[in-house]
Amino acid sequence: MNSATSHAPYVGARHFDAGDTGIFFGRTREQAEVADLWQRHRLTLLHGASGAGKSSLLRAGVLPRLSTEAGRALPLGDISSRSGFPLAAHK
């Protein structure tokens, strides 16, 4: 990979993460809105179509913004279709 492609702002099929904050741009208004809602309400739901950028917005936009504004948030989890029990426990 050459230096021109190593700095491309599109990270592929994965979501942007906190380490990608420097190349995550264009959603400043959404970052501010979600951060504000999150700070004012105990429960904030962010929903949208698959691939719309919800995880990227949170991980590379909102959470870094909250950390600089002295906010605190629990770590984000991922939804898994796997069972929480070991396979041997199901038999």
Domain interval for residue 62: 14-72
Instruction: Decide if 1 is inside a domain.
Output: no
Please check whether residue 82 lies inside any domain of the structure. no
Q: Does a structural domain hold residue 35?
A: yes
pLDDT tens figures, 38-60:
888 878 888 899 888 898 898 88
pTM greater than the 0.85 cutoff: no
Averaged pLDDT, 5-18: 66
Kindly state the average pLDDT of the residues 8-31: 78
Residue 63, domain member (yes or no) = yes
Q: What is the DSSP string of 8-60?
A: -S--TTSPP-GGGGGG--S-HHHHHHHHHHHHH-S-------TTSSHHHIIII
Could you give the number of structural domains in the chain? Answer: 1
